[in-house]
Structure 1
């Protein structure tokens, strides 16, 4: 299927292809004599062609807006027809994007405070650019309904949230949802296109002289959401999870991230009180992801783990 998709593009003879991973999309590395690309074959029933076309159009426009900023983004590669995606079977499609160089860094493994500040600046640059881009129809919405109700979730769960959560976890899920809804109402003018999965695993760092260069990948969940919420997936990484226990350096890392963000875009101090709840919302929202078709063989166990992380988030220092 990947080779059939790749045949729709102008690739030179001798092009090599290898599977890198299979999750919500199957990712293949495509290597020619002078370039590398990522070929994405999308899971059936998860994203429509309209979703993916809107994502790729936004990624193209964001790349144009950030040209010269030092931020590296994948660039969509048009097929021979000029379309940004190709349909490879019924209800399944693929696209080709350029490769983003760099390595994933984590606290204790090369991610210093200077790099964290650069990550904050990069996210602020993307948010500034988003305000001047009119997105195409098809991007998902990440409002409170989308994050906390089965019917509206862009994750398209096949299990109802009540089927995978214990009564105690469901009560906490609903409480976090209510608190998130109130925060979003308070931050009503802070909505636009967000990455929605700005985590260390989707950030490629490389050294250019004495500076860090940031590359950002995996815009598969980008959509209309709250800019303040977009900070929270990365804050969860800096707090120590899901990879390990609480990181005692979290307050310094959080401050460095926000300092970097504020170097480019306002982030009033009063917004910081919302961060623990929105970090909890990130984990609670992922219960609906684990309820999706063939996403997890153990959705109830995964949802319980996510709710444990949500409760930990609520206890984090502000």
Structure 2
């Protein structure tokens, strides 16, 4: 009989509940159900007192293991600074994260209190502005945070060059001309960003596309999902929102303007950071393609085949932004 090593296992709900009950002082018995299975496994946890929590079990990713130590330290820092975020819940012994054994190896778990409020409306300028304000508050607070020991830097190697390598190695893109186009775009983009000499470096959310938040009763955007956070380019952190409004055929640039207005109401943006954010839209798209390419063995080539069609979007963005200057 041939033994197959697991690439990715899904824990039974009962096992997740037992794990949480063992390590956290929640009002029991607790009830769990899976919310999402993807880059991570996310569960809703409800205590007998009605309190709601979210438990995230990190996945093994191409970048390496989850940097939950730095992530949870940053979230605690933000919460203490009054920035609206979903802060981690400590275990019975005060730890902010745990590790559990899965067939494929150790996986990291973090429990958060569920955020009250409503979901984000992608076409609502008020919601876009609220996202901008919270990101600015976060960047202000980041000035007094020291990410010592952070596992990842959100630099061009992490966001652009390694993702391109994953795309090429995955075999998803079979057309040599498309691969050459992608490599050329990545080279041009990297050189253009490196030509900026005064880009701001900060601690980034890393995934502020507008939907990793809920709007509370005070109208604030409460941020969650800092799994891709780390020290990096402030321009990249801004660009993720713009990318979300223009990628995959979307035409919501008005929301980008509202987002920037909200950000600037709290914190200024240097001209170079703002200009570079438009370049980083391409970087963000490469990052996403690289993430999906690295999961081809798990999700299947058909689920990630869209990567082979994305060179046209990137070339069009280059032409519109850096030749005709739409913005």
CA contact (8 A) 2:53 2:113 kept: yes
Q: Shift of residue 265 of structure 1?
A: 1.7
Aligned to 2:308: 304
Whole-Å separation in 1 of the counterparts to 2:63 and 2:100: 14
TM-score, normalised relative to structure 1: 0.83
Q: Shift of residue 3 of structure 1?
A: 2.1
Distance change (3 Å), C-alpha of 1:50 and 1:119: closer
Segments of structure 1 that go 5 or more residues without pairing to the other structure are none
Q: CA RMSD in A?
A: 2.7
Q: Shift of residue 55 of structure 1?
A: 1.1
Structure 1 residue 115 corresponds to structure 2 residue 119? no
Q: Shift of residue 102 of structure 1?
A: 2.5
Whole-Å separation in 2 of the counterparts to 1:131 and 1:29: 33
Segments of structure 2 that go 5 or more residues without pairing to the other structure are 1-14
- 1:22-171 aligned at under 5 Å gives the runs 22-32=37-47, 33-44=49-60, 51-65=67-81, 67=82, 71-89=83-101, 90-108=105-123, 111=124, 113-150=125-162, 160-161=168-169, 163-165=171-173, 166-171=175-180
Structure 1, 39-48 or 282-291: larger mean CA deviation:
39-48
Q: Shift of residue 77 of structure 1?
A: 1.3
Structure 1 residue 16 corresponds to structure 2 residue 20? no
CA contact (8 A) 1:45 1:91 kept: no
CA contact (8 A) 2:84 2:223 kept: yes
After the TM superposition, which parts of structure 1 deviate over 4 Å for at least 4 consecutive aligned residues?
Answer: 45-50, 159-162
Aligned residues: 299
Q: Relative to total residues, which structure has the larger helix share, 1 or 2?
A: 2
Q: Shift of residue 28 of structure 1?
A: 0.5
Whole-Å separation in 2 of the counterparts to 1:72 and 1:79: 22
Distance change (3 Å), C-alpha of 1:141 and 1:106: same
Whole-Å separation in 1 of the counterparts to 2:294 and 2:157: 17
Larger radius of gyration: 2
Q: Shift of residue 18 of structure 1?
A: 0.9
CA contact (8 A) 1:184 1:226 kept: no
Match of 2:183 among 171, 174, 185: 174
Q: Shift of residue 130 of structure 1?
A: 1.1
